[in-house]
Amino acid sequence: MKHLILILLMGTAVSSYAQKSDQPVNVPAAVTKSFQQQYPQATGVKWKLKDDQYHAEFSKHDAWYDASGKLVKQKEDIQQADLPAAVKQAVQQQFAGYTIHDVDKHTAGTVITYKLELKKSPEERDVTFSADGKVLKNEVDDKKKKK
């Protein structure tokens, strides 16, 4: 009987959490205005609120705004061909044998970085580069390695 009650309580907690996370976000007018000016063609936008930032997910983009409507950072899926030459060269020199599987361009203010998913069986790495090809972060992706 105790186990049944525990299972029911856990089920209720999980379902109420799921309902809260799916609730629509009340986006301030300043944020909506900035977003529409920055991305007038955006469709299928999903908003989330986390750590006092409004996160818009759409197409191959993500954008984060503060409550005043200031764009804090953005992420864009790009093609490998769109990487700066310095980043391509760094991959060839420092990660020989790896193939590039995903490329994201991150912009925060005036700072641009590139996050690449690199694969060399059985290993996968998430490597972040500065625009001039310096490695800023290099980690083995344990979640993908276990699959």
* Alpha helices in the chain, H assignment, sequence order: 2-21, 29-38, 85-94, 142-145
Whether the full predicted model's pTM is greater than 0.85, yes or no, is: no
Terminal Cα distance for the chain, rounded: 37
Which has more confidence, 71 or 21? Answer: 71
- pLDDT at residue 144, rounded to an integer: 54
Tokens of 58: 């759409």
Q: Name which of 136, 24, 134 is nearest 126 in CA terms.
A: 136
Angle subtended at Cα 11 by Cα 6 and Cα 16, rounded to the nearest 5 degrees: 130
Give 1 or 84, the one with higher predicted confidence: 84
Span 107-135, pLDDT tens digits? 999 999 999 999 999 999 999 999 999 99
Strands (E), the chain: 46-50, 53-58, 61-65, 71-77, 99-108, 111-120, 123-130, 135-140
Give pLDDT tens digits for 62-112. Answer: 999 999 999 999 999 999 999 999 999 999 999 999 999 999 999 999 999
Question: What confidence tier does 142 reach under pLDDT thresholds 50, 70, 90?
Answer: confident
Rounded alpha-carbon distances, angstroms, from residue 113 to 79, 96, 106, 116, 118: 14, 21, 5, 10, 16
pLDDT value of position 104: 98
Q: In order of start, what are the domains of the chain with their CATH numbers? A: 24-72 (3.10.450.360), 80-145 (3.10.450.360)
More confident residue, 4 or 55: 55
Tokens of 62: 């993500």
pLDDT of residue 102: 95
